[in-house]
């Protein structure tokens, strides 16, 4: 989905944004939704353009129609409960729950699934950019032994071989018909890991080392800014969804080139 439900506290706003993001800006979508829910188009229009609310039963069916996953469905139903709440006290209760779910959604480790290494292997893997760098290069099919990898990275061959041995032993790389390729799908560090600092530093050092050799297909962007708290909160919510959309494209794609993306968003 190009619209993240966790950006919204109103289920009607979410659905209408979803509609606008469909082909032809969602022309005919109310009719298709009505058919899926087995209700009239007028009823759908009265809900999403008026004061009526969905029943929880129809809301559940709508989640199926929108192909929401289990967590997104729970959140959508929470928004429906909030919209239907008949007292200010009950609304406040649902508001707190909505806020908690939105905060949870900000944490990337709750949105990105990963195959976990054991603690010892994780310490080694994230100790240097070389481990991830070689893993990505090997998956392109162009670098299948220590010799070519050491030339590509300008690193000692014996060091590259040790890294390759580790990656193969941990199933982070596999060898098939004399070709190397990715073994485990991907790795990810939760924000609470003490290795996060090292991991971020490793790749930011690499980015800095390349800044004087910027090519046409490179992109660097730094923008200190003063902005409203509302917009700052919106950007913070948007970043995990942006990464999620990128991963959805990257993971199934063929490995042809290697790139590194660093995103920094912090208060100073």
Phi, psi at 111, each rounded to 5°: -120, -15
Phi, psi at 265, each rounded to 5°: -140, 110
Confidence of residue 185 (pLDDT cuts 50, 70, 90): very low
The whole-number pLDDT of residue 1 equals 43
Confidence of residue 110 (pLDDT cuts 50, 70, 90): low
Q: Which of 83, 106, 129 is the last residue of a domain?
A: 106
176 strand-pairing partners? 179
Q: 176 is written with which tokens?
A: 């098939």
Same domain, 21 and 124: no
266 falls within a domain: no
Cα separation, 189 vs 109, in Å, equals: 8
What is the average pLDDT across 188-196?
79
Q: Domain containing 96: what range? A: 5-106
Cα separation, 35 vs 38, in Å, equals: 5
pLDDT, tens digit (0-9, with 9 covering 90-100), for 81-106: 999 999 999 999 999 999 999 988 87
Cα separation, 75 vs 82, in Å, equals: 11
Our count of domains for the chain comes to 2
Res 162 pLDDT > 80: yes
pLDDT, tens digit (0-9, with 9 covering 90-100), for 214-227: 888 888 888 888 88
Helix (H) or strand (E) holding 2: none
67 falls within a domain: yes
H-type alpha helices, 55-195 = 56-65, 70-84, 88-106, 119-125, 129-138, 146-153, 157-169
Cα separation, 138 vs 147, in Å, equals: 12
Mean pLDDT of all residues belonging to the chain? 87
């Amino acid at each position: 989905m190009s619209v993240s439900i966790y950006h919204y506290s109103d289920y009607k706003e979410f659905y209408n944004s979803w509609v606008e993001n469909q082909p032809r800006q969602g022309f005919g979508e109310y009719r298709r939704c009505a058919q899926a829910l087995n209700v009239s188009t007028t009823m759908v229009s009265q809900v999403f353009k008026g004061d009526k609310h969905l029943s929880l039963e129809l809301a559940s069916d709508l989640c199926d129609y929108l192909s929401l996953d289990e967590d997104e469905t729970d959140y959508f139903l929470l928004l429906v409960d909030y919209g239907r709440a008949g007292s200010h006290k009950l609304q406040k209760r649902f508001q707190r729950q909505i806020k908690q779910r939105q905060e949870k959604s900000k944490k990337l480790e709750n949105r990105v699934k990963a195959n976990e290494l054991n603690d010892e292997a994780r310490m080694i893997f994230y100790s240097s950019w070389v481990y991830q760098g070689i893993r990505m290069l090997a998956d392109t099919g162009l670098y299948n032994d220590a010799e070519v990898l050491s030339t590509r990275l300008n690193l000692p061959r014996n060091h590259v071989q040790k890294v390759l041995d580790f990656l193969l032993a941990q199933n982070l790389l596999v060898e098939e018909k004399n070709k190397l390729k990715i073994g485990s799908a991907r790795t990810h560090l939760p924000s609470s890991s003490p290795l996060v600092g090292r991991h971020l530093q490793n790749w930011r050092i690499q980015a800095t080392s390349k800044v004087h050799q910027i090519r046409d297909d490179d992109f660097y962007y730094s923008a200190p800014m003063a902005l409203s708290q509302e917009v700052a909160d919106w950007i913070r919510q948007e970043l995990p969804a942006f990464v999620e959309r990128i991963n959805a494209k990257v993971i199934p794609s063929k490995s042809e080139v290697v790139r590194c993306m660093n995103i920094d968003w912090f208060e100073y």
